[in-house]
Amino acid sequence: MLHSLNTDIQAPERFTYPFCYEPHPLCVMAAKEVQAYIGIHAEIREDADKGKMFGVLVVEHEGGLAYLAAYSGLLAGRNDWDYFVPPVYDAQQPDGHFKTTEREISLTTHHSPLIAKKMSQDLQLWLFHQYQLLNARGEVKDLVDIWQSYYSRPKLRQKFPLPPSGTGDCCAPKLLQYAYQQVLKPVCMAEFWWGATTKEEIRQHLNYYPACRGKCKPILTWMLEGLEVDPNPELLGFAHLDPKTVYEDEYIVVLDKPSGLLSTPGRIEDYSVETLMRQRYPEAVIAHRLDMGTSGLLIVAKTLEAYRPLQEQFIKHQVKKKYVAKVEDGRCKKEEVRGTISLPLRPDPMNRPRQMVDLEHGKRAVTDYEFLSDDLVALYPQTGRTHQLRIHCAHPDGLGRPIVGDELYGTKGDRLMLHASEIWFTHPVTHQEMHLASSPPFVDSEI
């Protein structure tokens, strides 16, 4: 399970911050070896092709640098592949307590569903206690203790009383647990996706991704104690960019927001369009929002009196918006040059801020589209869900072509190639019909 790395590449000074990182060259090297291994093992590749997260952990040992490999959950129904580290706890043993009790619950369900439900809850709690997780100092906590220590405040404890099912079976906890057990020093870590984008997971083949926050944030916070870890890049602040004024009168301002600037203050960063506008106009309110990575037109009301009629127009879907996006190569055919995408969305609780398609519980999300060229598409949202345009472009039931530079649903780049290029609305005070435009900065010619 320990695979040597023959290289002159220097190890990093600190361990990877797993929730926001650029993969270190050592991890890239290790990942390529894992990818080659998957490619030549048919049974593994066949299951991985359906979509699976893999991870690598570079470690120091007596012979120098080496790496460990892992996969999330089960691989081809197994968790005992020789090339990969074992699970933190193996619940798949046919004669073990977990599988034996599962069979008892299945038999009980038919005649005593309430008893079966209680047995299932007890079994899940028992399983959580079996996950005895180490940190870099050699200390041990089980999954329940880790979870309740992380969510220690009463309100949070009430909201997150126990871990979700499957917690502890992701790549990162498996890798660190095995390294600590074998007295190996962790150097750097990365996770990549192999295979198809699924309807649940909008991921791109061989792209690197951060550890999931919903299941892994409490665990890794514990397991990394005692290691010197890179600082969270999200806490280092962002460039203080300035928006350009496209239109202004005594009631409203329409700005051209650059990519990389928040519309409103974030959880960490206060600098935003709204804070800038309030320095000039104390009552200023943003009438709508654009993602930080999205550039383009943004309406600001200078007063509450101007804001309320604008808000009503947005609520009633009376504001029309056109976005232009540059999309990756994909399957779109000429006969699909225009159309409508309807895929309901909801937040992904395990991977915030990601959103996901949910046909049963998601909120209505509709986008009209029209291709302007092979890789440029005009998007006209009928609704305004979070990440709607990004998912409707990336999802296999949408365009199947992620927006260039979309690190959540596509491939990370210099910027998200999405621009709010035109907007139509009624002036909140003069009632004049307004139409404003801004050319996408990533397009050379007029469109």
pLDDT tens digit sequence for 340-366 = 999 999 999 888 889 999 999 999 999
Task: State the chain's mean pLDDT as an integer.
Answer: 93
What percent of the chain is helix, strand and coil (3-state, nearest 5)? 30, 25, 50
Say whether pLDDT at 447 is over 90: no
| Confidence category of residue 152, pLDDT binned at 50, 70, 90 | confident
Residue 434 has pLDDT above 80, yes or no: yes
Report the alpha-carbon distance of residue 80 to residue 93 in Å, rounded: 11
pLDDT per position as a tens digit, 364-391 = 999 999 999 999 999 999 999 999 999 9
Compute the distance between CA of residue 190 and CA of residue 299 in angstroms, rounded to an integer: 40
Q: Which residue has tokens 């951060």?
A: 210
pTM of the model: 0.89
Give catalytic residue positions.
291
- pLDDT tens-digit readout, 47-77: 999 999 999 999 998 879 999 999 999 999 9
Please say if the pLDDT value at position 334 is more than 70: no
Of the pLDDT bands very low, low, confident and very high (cuts 50, 70, 90), residue 333 is very low
pLDDT given for residue 36 in this prediction: 98
pLDDT at 332 over 70: no
pLDDT at residue 139 tops 50: yes
Asked if 284 and 273 touch (Cβ cutoff 8 Å), the reply is: no
Task: For residue 314, give Cα distances in angstroms to 9, 202, 420.
Answer: 54, 29, 15
Backbone dihedral angles phi then psi of residue 360, each to the nearest 5 degrees: -95, -45
Q: What is the pLDDT of residues 70-87, one digit of tens each?
A: 999 999 999 999 999 999
Contact 52, 195 (CB under 8 A): yes
Reading phi first (left if > 0) and then psi (alpha if -120 to 50, else beta), residue 125 is in alpha
Give the amino acid at 194: W
Distances (CA, A) of 334 to 80, 185, 324, 370, 371: 47, 54, 18, 11, 9
